Structure 1
Amino acid sequence: MSKKILIVDDAAFMRMMIKDILTKNGYEVAGEAQDGAQAVEKYKELNPDLVTMDITMPEMDGITALKEIRKINPDAKVIMCSAMGQQAMVIDAIQAGAKDFIVKPFQADRVIEAIQKALG
């Protein structure tokens, strides 16, 4: 059974890039969200195996959304994505329970490696 993944990014282009990498590698994209608030709703609705979450988004940022998702499911597997190499945000995300961190622009092998590691 393929693993269901929820893609969260405010940029449609970035969602498309991740979706392309995932589908080519046999993962099922269960849904997409363009901000943190949508991500939390979609998580409740879809119960995905894993979430890729952008950090910087309107409405609700990725770290806040990560914390909300972890309230729903403490075992939620979330991989953070960000264009900015901001160490503080990476540390915040990991402390909030993120499993890993991938940097934009995405490198397919790094994305797959992070997902395989998170899913165990």
Structure 2
Amino acid sequence: MAVRAVRGAITVPENTKESIWEGTKELLVEIVNRNSLKNADIISAIFTVTHDLSAAFPAVAARQIGWNDIPLMCTNEIDVPGSLEKCVRVLIHINTEKTNAEINHVYLNGAAVLRPDLVK
């Protein structure tokens, strides 16, 4: 079994706990569904948020959907002038038999501009 990484991102409408948590849950559920993941497959996840999202930790949303024994970390995205705003990103490490080419990365809402080649 190999260790692989799944990327994802979503933009949220506002800097509130509810918006950050709901957007993060939507993103994580979509990543899990598109990659047929079980919690036991997930090694860890690193979340980043843009400078304009400070109302909540996205990792709380992961806990709300049952990721209770998975190591999680949150940090700030680099504040590059002109970059996408109100964006939550995630890098999830998984155990899988899939190749890198078979991994489904997920970019939702305004985050689709980050990787238009991967948007489904």
TM-score range, shorter chain: 0.3 to 0.5
Point out the structure with the larger helix share.
1
Q: Which has the larger radius of gyration?
A: 2
Q: Which has the higher strand share?
A: 2
With normalisation by structure 2, the TM-score equals 0.33
> Which protein has greater RCO, CA pairs closer than 8 Å, 6+ apart?
2
